[in-house]
Amino acid sequence: MDGHFDGNSIIVELEVNSPISKKVKQTLPFKIDTGFTNDLCITYKEAFPLALTLVGIQDYQIADGSSVQWFECLGLITSGSKQIPAVVSVRPSGSLLMGISLMRKLSSKLEIDFTNQKVHFSRLKRHT
């Protein structure tokens, strides 16, 4: 999986799928945010058409130190031929974020070439 630079941000396109309907899916541009510890964060605009499963509300402390509450939903991410369960935080507005937790679930190595402005995720083989 490859990403790209958008100014000082790194963007990766991910397919988000509804957990209740195989026909409902959307490919969205996510900003990689190593300070965001959950899987994904999207806005109401993207979330409602995806028919994600609401599981609760979560308190977060964001970068400016303030506290917020966001909806927590379950969705699926398509990675190659596999679908991976993902926790999706849903907020009123803001950037779409891909967090550290999803990168771990994808078993990925993230390579960033700042000189040539290239980004690549390579799948790691798990050692047993």
The more confidently predicted of residues 126 and 47 is 47
- 32: nearest Cα among 59, 52, 50, 14: 14
Question: Which structural domain, as residue segments, surrounds residue 84?
Answer: 2-123
**Predicted confidence (pLDDT) per residue in 42-83, tens digit:** 999 999 999 999 999 999 888 888 999 999 999 999 987 889
Residue 76, in any domain of the structure = yes
Average pLDDT for the chain:
90
The burial class, CB within 10 Å (0-12 / 13-18 / 19+), for 108 is middle
Confidence check: pLDDT of 110 > 90: no
Residue 87, in any domain of the structure = yes
Give the integer Cα–Cα distance in Å for 89 and 33. 14
Q: Two tokens at 95?
A: 């950037």
Residue 110, in any domain of the structure = yes
| Domains contained in the chain, number | 1
Average the pLDDT over each of 2-6, 23-27, 58-62 and give the range with the smallest value: 58-62
Residue 15, in any domain of the structure = yes
CATH value at residue 107: 2.40.70.10
Residue 128, in any domain of the structure = no
Give me the helices (H) in 1-128, please: 44-50, 100-105
